[in-house]
Structures are given as C-alpha cells and as structure tokens.
Amino acid sequence: MDQEKIIVIGTGQALRGDDAAGLEAVRRWRMDFPQTAGLVKVELYELPGMDLLDMLEGMQAAILVDAMHAEGSPGRIKRLEPDDLAVFAAGAASAHGWGVAETLSMGRLLYPALAKCRITLIGIAGGQFEMGAGLSLEVQAALEKTAAMIEKEVQSLLG
C-alpha cells in the first residue's frame, strides 16, 4: 500500500476528560514510534464532523482513534471495521454526539469513492466526559497499549 495514502486520525475534545483519548493515543504513538509516524499522514482533530470525509478523500487506508461510550470498564480498547460501526446506536460510539460512526455511515451514502478506503476504528472506552476534567487513570493506562495497537495496524498496512 502507498504510504502517502495511509492516514492516522486522532479525534476528541481535549477539554472533556476521557474524550481526549483519541488525541492522546495518537500523540503517544507518534512519540513512541516516530519512524513509522513519519511515513504516513497523521492528523489530530478536535471535532472533525463532516470534514472527516474530506480527510479520507483519496486515501487507501485510515486508522481513526476516538473515545467511545461503552458499557464496561473505562480504558477498554476495541478495534472496529466500518461494518461493525453499524451496531452502535446514534451517539453511542462516539463520546461527542454526532461522531465517527455516524459520519462514516453518512459518508458511505454520499461518497461512493469512500468504499475504496479501508477504515479501521480504534475506540477507547471512557468513563468521565465532564468539561475541564482530565483523562481518567484507566484511560491513561490504556494509552501505551493503544499506541502499540496503532503501530501494529500501520505496520500491517505498510506491508
């Protein structure tokens, strides 16, 4: 796969506790694996919304990292393919309302070319999303494992 056609995107809201998990996990990955991170496109977006679709345009593969509301323990990491995202109810997958799952679903309808982009979502279960809160200890503890997961995904795409 063409390394210039691979993108890693961290999303979330930095000032809303565990919602910053996607941003922090991608930052951690860049710090822990700078050589690999230098080979692909890397973006951090607080609230990409429909702009996410523009970021995916022309890409062969994308790894999206985001916080999610999920039952169970905060800090749990889940890897999802686009078809898996359909099981989440509106607002359930993302910690910030209209999120990645809804945007990708809409994008598949509006932009048929998006089907050419292999999309993987790495979701980190959060527990606290209050304005002004920091990352919970559970999510902080998951960042290293999430960074390693991102690295594994990117390496598999690079072949």
Say which range, 36-45, 57-66, 75-84, has the weakest mean pLDDT.
75-84
The domain locations on the chain are 3-158
Check residue 11 and give its pLDDT: 92
115 or 66: which carries more pLDDT confidence? Answer: 66
- Find the largest Cα–Cα distance for the chain: 41
Six token digits for residue 54:
């523009």
69 or 7: which carries more pLDDT confidence? Answer: 7
pLDDT category at 66 given cuts 50, 70, 90 is very high
Which positions ≥6 away from 134 have C-beta within 8 Å?
Answer: 17
CATH of domain 3-158: 3.40.50.1450
Amino acid residing at 46: E
Check residue 70 and give its pLDDT: 73
Residue with the two structure tokens 């078809």: 83
What tens digit of pLDDT does each residue of 96-133 get? 445 666 677 677 677 777 778 899 999 999 999 999 99
What tens digit of pLDDT does each residue of 130-150 get? 999 999 999 999 999 999 999
Q: Indicate the pTM of the whole model.
A: 0.86
Please give the Cα distance from 94 to 92 (Å, whole number): 6
Please give the Cα distance from 39 to 67 (Å, whole number): 25
Six token digits for residue 154:
């990117």
